[in-house]
């Protein structure tokens, strides 16, 4: 009987943790750009609104780095983050090493938002994280560099934006505000 009581007590104590468990989508690990050790996306971003972007340094959309950083800085205190994943999938527009990519982003565009290891994002070769992003976005994979997935605080993809959508586009900023506001209205900061 004592063992059953302890088991039930354990379940009661762990239930709130299970309710707040990280989403399957964010249950992934990646190395920070040019880093050595993988980090958990859950530990870094659980409960935040995220804009996940596949990036490239030699693309016509590369100047979006500047506006992405501005968005990250402006909304970061409200639980928002831009998260970048360099990719060389589209015409070899990210050929450099991770060290070169990091230096370029920092020196050219002042990027401070989190950037992670170079990955593949195209349908058929995408890493599992990008396969899941696409699945949650109705099968929409990036068609080019600077595709954007908006993830709400519960870790679900709520919108997907093509490369031509600039970070300051009203449709994108309204979707971000809605995701931030929905969480605030529900009292989950």
Q: Which of 22, 42, 59, 105 is catalytic?
A: 59
Instruction: Please say if 22 is a catalytic residue.
Output: no
**Contact residues for 162 (Cβ-Cβ < 8 A; gap 6+):** 143, 144, 147, 148
Beta-bridge partner residues of 156: none
Cα(155)–Cα(47) distance, rounded to whole angstroms?
Answer: 7
Alpha-carbon torsion 76, 136, 56, 143, what sign? negative
| C-alpha–C-alpha distance, residues 52 and 140, integer Å | 14
The alpha carbon of residue 28 and the mean position of all alpha carbons in its chain are separated, in whole angstroms, by 11
Strands 49-55 and 148-151: antiparallel
Q: Among all residues, which ones are annotated catalytic? A: 59
């Amino acid at each position: 009987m004592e063992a059953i009581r302890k088991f039930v007590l354990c379940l009661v104590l762990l239930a709130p943790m299970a309710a707040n468990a990280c989403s399957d989508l964010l249950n992934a690990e990646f190395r920070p750009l040019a880093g050595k050790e993988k980090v958990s996306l859950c530990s870094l971003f659980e409960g935040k609104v995220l804009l996940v972007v596949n990036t490239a340094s030699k693309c016509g959309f590369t100047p979006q780095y500047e506006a992405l950083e501005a968005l990250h800085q402006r909304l970061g205190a409200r639980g928002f983050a831009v998260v970048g994943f360099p990719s060389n999938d589209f015409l070899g527009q990210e050929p450099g090493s991770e060290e070169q990519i990091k230096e370029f982003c920092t020196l050219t565009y002042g990027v401070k938002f989190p950037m992670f290891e170079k990955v593949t994002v195209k349908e058929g070769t995408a890493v599992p994280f990008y396969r899941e992003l696409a699945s949650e976005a109705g099968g929409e994979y990036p068609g080019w560099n600077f595709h954007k997935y908006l993830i709400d605080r519960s870790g679900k993809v709520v919108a997907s934006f093509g490369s031509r959508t600039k970070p300051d586009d009203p449709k994108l900023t309204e979707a971000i505000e809605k995701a931030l506001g929905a969480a605030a209205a529900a009292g989950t900061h």
